[in-house]
Amino acid sequence: MYINYHCHTARCGHADVCGDEEYVRRAVDNGFSILGFSDHTPWPYRTAGYAPRGTRMDVAELEGYVRSIRSLQETWGHVIRLYVGLECEYYPDYLPWLRRTVQEQGLDFLILGNHWPLTDETGARGFAGATEPEAVTQYGALTVRGMQTELFRYLAHPDIVFCSYPSFDAACEQASLSICRAAKALDLPLEYNLYGVDKMERGIVRGIGYPLEAFWQIAAAEGCTAIVGLDAHRLTQFDRPTRFDEAKTYLRGLGMRVLDALPGLDAFPKP
Ligand SMILES: [Zn+2]
Ligand SMILES: [Zn+2]
Protein backbone atom coordinates (compact mmCIF):
# COMPACT_ATOMS: atom_id res chain seq x y z
CA MET A 1 0.00 0.00 0.00
CA TYR A 2 1.16 3.52 -0.72
CA ILE A 3 0.84 6.71 1.25
CA ASN A 4 0.96 10.30 0.04
CA TYR A 5 0.36 13.52 1.95
CA HIS A 6 1.07 15.94 -0.87
CA CYS A 7 -1.83 16.40 -3.29
CA HIS A 8 -3.16 19.57 -4.90
CA THR A 9 -6.58 20.26 -6.39
CA ALA A 10 -7.97 22.26 -9.31
CA ARG A 11 -8.43 25.21 -6.92
CA CYS A 12 -4.74 26.15 -7.12
CA GLY A 13 -5.17 26.94 -10.81
CA HIS A 14 -2.16 24.94 -12.07
CA ALA A 15 -3.30 21.37 -11.41
CA ASP A 16 -5.51 19.08 -13.51
CA VAL A 17 -9.00 20.51 -13.94
CA CYS A 18 -10.94 17.72 -12.27
CA GLY A 19 -12.96 17.08 -9.15
CA ASP A 20 -11.33 16.16 -5.84
CA GLU A 21 -12.95 12.73 -6.07
CA GLU A 22 -10.97 11.90 -9.21
CA TYR A 23 -7.76 12.13 -7.19
CA VAL A 24 -9.23 9.84 -4.55
CA ARG A 25 -10.40 7.31 -7.14
CA ARG A 26 -7.02 7.37 -8.88
CA ALA A 27 -5.23 6.88 -5.57
CA VAL A 28 -7.46 3.92 -4.66
CA ASP A 29 -7.02 2.39 -8.14
CA ASN A 30 -3.25 2.51 -7.65
CA GLY A 31 -3.14 0.97 -4.18
CA PHE A 32 -2.88 4.01 -1.91
CA SER A 33 -4.22 3.55 1.61
CA ILE A 34 -3.70 7.14 2.77
CA LEU A 35 -4.15 10.35 0.80
CA GLY A 36 -3.51 13.73 2.35
CA PHE A 37 -4.67 16.79 0.46
CA SER A 38 -2.33 19.74 0.92
CA ASP A 39 -3.35 22.35 -1.61
CA HIS A 40 -1.56 25.70 -1.72
CA THR A 41 -2.72 27.89 1.15
CA PRO A 42 -4.68 31.00 0.33
CA TRP A 43 -3.50 34.13 2.16
CA PRO A 44 -5.51 37.15 3.34
CA TYR A 45 -3.30 39.55 1.39
CA ARG A 46 -2.96 43.10 2.64
CA THR A 47 -2.24 44.47 -0.81
CA ALA A 48 -5.59 45.74 -2.02
CA GLY A 49 -6.84 43.88 -5.07
CA TYR A 50 -3.94 41.40 -5.12
CA ALA A 51 -5.21 37.94 -6.04
CA PRO A 52 -2.64 35.71 -7.75
CA ARG A 53 -4.22 33.60 -10.45
CA GLY A 54 -2.85 30.18 -11.20
CA THR A 55 -0.97 29.97 -7.90
CA ARG A 56 -3.45 29.29 -5.10
CA MET A 57 -7.13 29.29 -4.17
CA ASP A 58 -8.86 32.34 -2.70
CA VAL A 59 -9.53 32.51 1.03
CA ALA A 60 -13.24 32.22 0.21
CA GLU A 61 -12.66 28.75 -1.31
CA LEU A 62 -11.00 27.26 1.74
CA GLU A 63 -14.15 26.20 3.54
CA GLY A 64 -15.48 24.40 0.47
CA TYR A 65 -12.14 22.63 0.04
CA VAL A 66 -12.22 21.30 3.59
CA ARG A 67 -15.89 20.33 3.28
CA SER A 68 -15.24 18.49 0.03
CA ILE A 69 -12.45 16.31 1.42
CA ARG A 70 -14.47 15.53 4.54
CA SER A 71 -17.42 14.52 2.47
CA LEU A 72 -15.19 12.28 0.34
CA GLN A 73 -13.97 10.61 3.50
CA GLU A 74 -17.58 9.66 4.20
CA THR A 75 -17.89 8.06 0.78
CA TRP A 76 -14.45 6.49 0.47
CA GLY A 77 -13.50 5.86 4.09
CA HIS A 78 -13.91 2.10 3.75
CA VAL A 79 -11.02 1.87 1.28
CA ILE A 80 -8.78 4.89 1.93
CA ARG A 81 -8.04 7.30 4.74
CA LEU A 82 -8.17 10.95 3.71
CA TYR A 83 -6.68 13.94 5.46
CA VAL A 84 -7.12 17.60 4.69
CA GLY A 85 -4.28 20.05 5.13
CA LEU A 86 -2.40 22.79 3.34
CA GLU A 87 1.01 23.42 1.81
CA CYS A 88 2.13 26.74 3.28
CA GLU A 89 4.72 29.36 2.55
CA TYR A 90 6.76 30.97 5.30
CA TYR A 91 4.90 34.30 5.39
CA PRO A 92 5.45 35.52 8.96
CA ASP A 93 3.00 38.43 8.63
CA TYR A 94 0.19 35.96 8.01
CA LEU A 95 1.09 33.30 10.57
CA PRO A 96 -1.51 34.48 13.12
CA TRP A 97 -4.17 34.04 10.43
CA LEU A 98 -2.80 30.59 9.58
CA ARG A 99 -2.81 29.44 13.20
CA ARG A 100 -6.40 30.62 13.57
CA THR A 101 -7.43 28.96 10.33
CA VAL A 102 -6.02 25.59 11.38
CA GLN A 103 -8.25 25.73 14.45
CA GLU A 104 -11.35 27.12 12.74
CA GLN A 105 -11.22 24.66 9.87
CA GLY A 106 -10.01 21.74 11.98
CA LEU A 107 -7.18 21.00 9.55
CA ASP A 108 -5.29 17.76 10.04
CA PHE A 109 -1.83 18.93 9.06
CA LEU A 110 0.30 21.57 7.40
CA ILE A 111 3.43 21.11 5.35
CA LEU A 112 5.97 23.82 4.61
CA GLY A 113 6.72 24.51 0.94
CA ASN A 114 8.86 27.62 0.66
CA HIS A 115 8.32 28.96 -2.86
CA TRP A 116 8.55 32.75 -2.32
CA PRO A 117 10.49 35.04 -0.02
CA LEU A 118 8.12 36.29 2.72
CA THR A 119 5.17 37.03 0.41
CA ASP A 120 4.41 36.84 -3.30
CA GLU A 121 2.72 40.27 -3.23
CA THR A 122 5.99 42.03 -4.03
CA GLY A 123 6.39 40.30 -7.38
CA ALA A 124 9.69 38.81 -6.18
CA ARG A 125 11.02 35.86 -8.15
CA GLY A 126 10.11 32.46 -6.75
CA PHE A 127 12.85 30.27 -5.32
CA ALA A 128 12.37 27.71 -8.11
CA GLY A 129 13.81 30.38 -10.42
CA ALA A 130 16.83 31.19 -8.24
CA THR A 131 20.05 31.66 -10.20
CA GLU A 132 22.13 33.76 -7.76
CA PRO A 133 23.84 32.59 -4.55
CA GLU A 134 22.09 35.34 -2.56
CA ALA A 135 18.72 33.76 -3.36
CA VAL A 136 19.94 30.33 -2.21
CA THR A 137 21.24 31.82 1.03
CA GLN A 138 17.93 33.61 1.57
CA TYR A 139 16.02 30.40 0.84
CA GLY A 140 18.07 28.53 3.45
CA ALA A 141 17.58 31.19 6.12
CA LEU A 142 13.83 31.65 5.56
CA THR A 143 13.19 27.92 5.30
CA VAL A 144 14.88 27.34 8.65
CA ARG A 145 12.77 30.10 10.20
CA GLY A 146 9.66 28.51 8.75
CA MET A 147 10.63 25.12 10.16
CA GLN A 148 11.23 26.69 13.57
CA THR A 149 7.58 27.82 13.81
CA GLU A 150 6.85 24.13 14.52
CA LEU A 151 3.58 24.48 12.61
CA PHE A 152 4.55 21.96 9.97
CA ARG A 153 4.62 18.17 9.79
CA TYR A 154 7.32 18.10 7.14
CA LEU A 155 9.32 20.23 4.75
CA ALA A 156 8.21 19.75 1.14
CA HIS A 157 10.84 19.71 -1.64
CA PRO A 158 13.64 21.05 0.62
CA ASP A 159 15.89 21.30 -2.45
CA ILE A 160 13.48 23.17 -4.81
CA VAL A 161 15.81 26.18 -4.81
CA PHE A 162 18.19 24.20 -7.05
CA CYS A 163 15.58 23.87 -9.80
CA SER A 164 17.09 26.59 -12.02
CA TYR A 165 20.44 26.99 -10.26
CA PRO A 166 23.54 26.34 -12.39
CA SER A 167 25.88 24.41 -10.04
CA PHE A 168 26.23 23.15 -6.48
CA ASP A 169 28.44 25.87 -5.01
CA ALA A 170 29.37 26.98 -1.49
CA ALA A 171 26.04 28.81 -1.04
CA CYS A 172 24.16 25.61 -1.92
CA GLU A 173 26.22 23.56 0.48
CA GLN A 174 25.71 26.05 3.32
CA ALA A 175 21.95 26.36 2.73
CA SER A 176 21.62 22.56 2.58
CA LEU A 177 23.58 22.16 5.81
CA SER A 178 21.43 24.78 7.60
CA ILE A 179 18.20 23.15 6.48
CA CYS A 180 19.32 19.62 7.32
CA ARG A 181 20.69 20.59 10.74
CA ALA A 182 17.44 22.39 11.60
CA ALA A 183 15.43 19.40 10.37
CA LYS A 184 17.46 17.07 12.56
CA ALA A 185 17.20 19.36 15.60
CA LEU A 186 13.42 19.76 15.16
CA ASP A 187 12.87 16.12 14.16
CA LEU A 188 11.11 17.36 11.00
CA PRO A 189 11.07 14.98 8.01
CA LEU A 190 12.32 16.16 4.62
CA GLU A 191 10.26 15.29 1.57
CA TYR A 192 11.79 13.55 -1.42
CA ASN A 193 9.57 15.12 -4.06
CA LEU A 194 8.40 12.90 -6.91
CA TYR A 195 7.02 15.87 -8.90
CA GLY A 196 10.62 17.04 -9.09
CA VAL A 197 11.56 13.57 -10.34
CA ASP A 198 8.89 13.95 -13.04
CA LYS A 199 10.24 17.32 -14.09
CA MET A 200 13.79 15.97 -14.28
CA GLU A 201 12.61 13.00 -16.37
CA ARG A 202 10.74 15.31 -18.72
CA GLY A 203 13.81 17.50 -19.11
CA ILE A 204 11.99 20.71 -18.24
CA VAL A 205 14.35 21.75 -15.43
CA ARG A 206 16.83 24.47 -16.35
CA GLY A 207 19.31 24.06 -13.50
CA ILE A 208 20.85 21.26 -11.44
CA GLY A 209 17.28 20.44 -10.42
CA TYR A 210 15.62 18.59 -7.57
CA PRO A 211 15.64 16.13 -5.92
CA LEU A 212 19.40 16.72 -5.90
CA GLU A 213 21.81 13.98 -4.86
CA ALA A 214 24.25 16.46 -3.27
CA PHE A 215 21.47 17.69 -0.98
CA TRP A 216 20.33 14.20 0.01
CA GLN A 217 23.88 13.12 0.78
CA ILE A 218 24.10 15.99 3.25
CA ALA A 219 20.68 15.09 4.67
CA ALA A 220 21.86 11.50 5.19
CA ALA A 221 25.14 12.60 6.76
CA GLU A 222 23.26 14.88 9.18
CA GLY A 223 20.98 12.03 10.26
CA CYS A 224 17.74 13.47 8.81
CA THR A 225 14.52 11.54 8.29
CA ALA A 226 12.88 11.41 4.86
CA ILE A 227 9.35 10.98 3.56
CA VAL A 228 8.38 10.52 -0.08
CA GLY A 229 5.69 12.77 -1.55
CA LEU A 230 3.95 12.89 -4.91
CA ASP A 231 3.21 16.63 -4.93
CA ALA A 232 0.37 15.57 -7.22
CA HIS A 233 -0.86 18.17 -9.67
CA ARG A 234 -1.79 15.56 -12.30
CA LEU A 235 -3.91 12.44 -11.95
CA THR A 236 -1.28 10.52 -13.90
CA GLN A 237 1.20 11.06 -11.07
CA PHE A 238 -0.62 8.31 -9.17
CA ASP A 239 -0.12 5.79 -11.94
CA ARG A 240 3.45 4.69 -11.14
CA PRO A 241 3.37 4.08 -7.39
CA THR A 242 6.44 1.86 -7.58
CA ARG A 243 8.40 5.10 -7.74
CA PHE A 244 7.76 5.30 -3.98
CA ASP A 245 9.60 1.99 -3.59
CA GLU A 246 12.44 3.16 -5.81
CA ALA A 247 12.79 6.43 -3.88
CA LYS A 248 12.76 4.65 -0.53
CA THR A 249 15.37 2.19 -1.70
CA TYR A 250 17.53 5.07 -2.90
CA LEU A 251 17.18 7.03 0.37
CA ARG A 252 17.79 3.97 2.54
CA GLY A 253 20.83 3.25 0.40
CA LEU A 254 22.15 6.66 1.48
CA GLY A 255 21.61 5.54 5.07
CA MET A 256 18.46 7.54 5.77
CA ARG A 257 15.48 6.61 7.86
CA VAL A 258 12.36 6.84 5.68
CA LEU A 259 8.89 7.25 7.16
CA ASP A 260 6.01 5.15 5.87
CA ALA A 261 3.39 7.42 7.44
CA LEU A 262 3.14 10.60 9.49
CA PRO A 263 2.47 9.62 13.08
CA GLY A 264 -0.31 11.15 15.09
CA LEU A 265 -2.77 12.31 12.44
CA ASP A 266 -6.32 11.55 13.49
CA ALA A 267 -8.73 10.25 10.92
CA PHE A 268 -12.16 11.72 10.36
CA PRO A 269 -14.55 12.05 11.95
CA LYS A 270 -12.89 14.18 14.56
CA PRO A 271 -14.17 13.83 18.12
ZN1 LIG B 1 5.42 23.12 -3.39
ZN1 LIG C 1 2.91 21.04 -3.70
Per-residue pLDDT tens digits for 154-183: 999 999 999 999 999 999 999 999 999 999
Q: Ligand 1 center to residue 9 CA distance, Å?
A: 13
Q: Ligand 1 center to residue 271 CA distance, Å?
A: 31
**Count of domains forming the chain:** 1
Ligand nearest to the CA of 9: 2
Write down the pLDDT at residue 267.
Answer: 53
The pLDDT tens digits of the residues spanning 53-63 come to 899 999 999 99
The pLDDT tens digits of the residues spanning 96-127 come to 999 999 999 999 999 999 999 999 999 889 99
Which residue range forms the structural domain that includes residue 217? 2-258
In terms of DSSP H, where are the helices of the chain?
A: 20-29, 62-76, 95-105, 133-148, 170-186, 194-202, 213-221, 242-253
Question: Does residue 271 lie in a domain region?
Answer: no
Query: What global pTM score does this model have?
Result: 0.96
Average pLDDT (253-271) is: 80
Q: Which CATH number covers residue 250?
A: 3.20.20.140
Question: Does residue 266 lie in a domain region?
Answer: no
Average pLDDT (225-234) is: 98
Strand partners, 2: 32
Model confidence at 184, in pLDDT bands (50, 70, 90)?
very high
Q: Ligand 1 center to residue 197 CA distance, Å?
A: 13
Alpha-carbon distance of 90 to 144, in angstroms, equals 10
pLDDT at 18 over 70: yes
Q: Ligand 2 center to residue 256 CA distance, Å?
A: 23
User: Residue 108 in contact with residue 85, Cβ under 8 Å?
Assistant: yes
Question: Does residue 269 lie in a domain region?
Answer: no
Question: Does residue 67 lie in a domain region?
Answer: yes
User: Residue 166 in contact with residue 131, Cβ under 8 Å?
Assistant: yes
Model confidence at 265, in pLDDT bands (50, 70, 90)?
confident
The pLDDT tens digits of the residues spanning 52-93 come to 889 999 999 999 999 999 999 999 999 999 999 999 999 999
Q: Ligand 2 center to residue 114 CA distance, Å?
A: 10
Question: Does residue 231 lie in a domain region?
Answer: yes
Write down the pLDDT at residue 82.
Answer: 96
